Structure 1
Amino acid sequence: MNRRTSQVAVVAAATALLALAATGCSSSGGSQAAPPSAAAGSAGTPAASAAGTGAGGGSASTASTPAGGGSAQSSGAQAGGAAGDRCHTADLKADIQLQGDRPGNAMLMLVNRGTRTCTVYGYPGLGGLLADNSRVELPTNRVPNPGQPSSISLKPGTTAFAGLAWAPCSKSDVDCKVLAGLELTPPDETTQLIATVLGTDAKPVNALTVSKAGIRVGSLQPASQGVLFSS
């Protein structure tokens, strides 16, 4: 091989080496580009997972339907039914306490004598009884005293209160009603019970004089405070 041929061979070899080096650099750059591509794939995977969670959310929603739907409504219906079960005449007893310092003024005490909790709301009805136990018409005037009625849940042995007021009269007055007792109709009931009228000595009273104007009846309240009429 002459000198010229050797030089050509050296140049060719050098060119080949340069080409190989360039190829190596290009492959390395591709490898660096791969992680972003992989990262994009990784980012896509959690996104798909989130969509799956959304589907799972639908599944959770399905699971919550029996827990939050039927049972809660059933409990509410039972509670509402118990609260709405009104007191009947047979469940109650009535005492009327006269106020010694205020003639013609009394406090009605309506007691749950039964074994179940019941509800009263509104105003009691009142009627007069004569000595022979016959009924006599007794005008009544319902007054929201001390305020509007409220629904009262009476546990066994507990009491609702209302104020009563009337003008006493002379027995000689032809319009004066001389009553041996009072009968009471609980709210929303159609049957009556005989109220026990008590004097300041806590003994039964069997004679009341009531003018022709009749009796004012206050609203039933859960506490006795303020139920008495001021005049």
Structure 2
Amino acid sequence: MVYTSRSARHGALLVGTVAVLGLLTACGNGQDVHGNPPITASGTAAPATGDSKSPASPPSAPAATPSDSASASAPRTTGSAGGGGTTATAAASTRCHTSELRAAVGRNDPGAGQENFPVVLTNRSGRTCTLHGYPGAAFVNASGTQIGPDPRREPGSPTTITLRPGQSAWAGLTFSNPGISGARTATPAALLITPPDERDALKAAWTDGAVPVSGSSSSVFLSVLSPGTAP
């Protein structure tokens, strides 16, 4: 048996203790004793407990201001062709539709060789609606065939007309007296009238005789809509 002195045994014990403490310290620091880096695994962390402070919440996005929302959603509608502008006051949902209107041709008001008729659109629905621009129009015979070209539009500045139930708007239909102008004529049975921005037409009986359909001074003109039933 090999004899080991007491001091030698004490030294060996001290060295072993230091080695164990070093190993524990390395583990406590999250380091692999073999020199490999720690592995990070994905997953959901459990909520912190004790005195640990929870991480600060991310800043919230700034709220939209009323002006931003209005500019993004405000609705805009374009006036009928030839109107020369866009109006933001009349949304498409407020427009008068053909089914909500009644059409009529008013009494002739001749002057200076001209025949002048008010074409009247009346709101027959139970809601308030709007008209903006020019109506469409075409003369037709008894079988529904169009007579002559479409009326031309007189220059004008369209405005949005608000019609409560029972209220009306009118546009002027004018042409030169055929007896004076010498234009070729035909006698229509009705005038088809299409409200602005609509596709379906209303029919109004025509009882005022011949209208010009071709030749010199045969053009028929239609003015922009105005409130009321006549000038």
Q: Does 1:129 align with 2:134?
A: no
Q: Does 1:179 align with 2:173?
A: no
| 1:224, distance to aligned residue in structure 2 (A) | 5.4
Q: Deviations over 1:174-194 (max 9, x none)?
A: 832321211011110111110
Aligned residue number for residue 130 of structure 2: 119
- Distance change in 2, residues 1:190/1:152 (3 Å): same
Aligned AA for 1:129? V
Give the number of equivalent residue pairs.
Answer: 147
- Percent identity over the alignment? 31
- Distance change in 2, residues 1:105/1:81 (3 Å): closer
Aligned-residue Cα RMSD (Å) equals 3.3
Say which SS state the counterpart of residue 138 (structure 2) adopts.
Answer: strand
Partners of 2:106 and 2:119 within 8 A in 1: yes
Partners of 1:123 and 1:218 within 8 A in 2: yes
Q: Deviations over 1:143-180 (max 9, x none)?
A: 13xx411001111100012111012326xx78323212
Q: Distance in 2 between matches of 1:98 and 1:81?
A: 31
Partners of 1:83 and 1:118 within 8 A in 2: no
Q: Does 1:218 align with 2:220?
A: no
Partners of 2:148 and 2:213 within 8 A in 1: no
Say which SS state the counterpart of residue 179 (structure 1) adopts.
Answer: coil
From 195, 199, 209, give the equivalent of 2:211.
209
Partners of 1:94 and 1:196 within 8 A in 2: no
Partners of 1:108 and 1:163 within 8 A in 2: yes
Q: Deviations over 1:58-110 (max 9, x none)?
A: xxxxxxx9xx959x97xx979x6778511111111111113254452111211
TM-score normalised per structure 2: 0.53
Aligned AA for 1:155? R
Partners of 1:180 and 1:206 within 8 A in 2: no
Q: Distance in 2 between matches of 1:100 and 1:174?
A: 20
| 1:126, distance to aligned residue in structure 2 (A) | 0.6
Say which SS state the counterpart of residue 90 (structure 1) adopts.
Answer: helix
Q: Does 1:148 align with 2:150?
A: no
Aligned AA for 2:221? R
From 81, 97, 101, give the equivalent of 1:92.
101
The structure with the larger Rg is 1
Aligned residue number for residue 197 of structure 2: 188
Point out the structure with the larger helix share: 1
Partners of 1:120 and 1:187 within 8 A in 2: yes
Extract unaligned runs of 5+ from structure 1: 1-64, 198-204
Q: Distance in 2 between matches of 1:169 and 1:69?
A: 60
Q: Distance in 1 between matches of 2:129 and 2:136?
A: 18
Q: Distance in 2 between matches of 1:223 and 1:124?
A: 15
Aligned AA for 1:207? G
- Distance change in 2, residues 1:83/1:134 (3 Å): closer
Q: Distance in 1 between matches of 2:220 and 2:110?
A: 18
| 1:219, distance to aligned residue in structure 2 (A) | 0.4
Q: Distance in 2 between matches of 1:82 and 1:211?
A: 37
Q: Distance in 2 between matches of 1:211 and 1:168?
A: 12
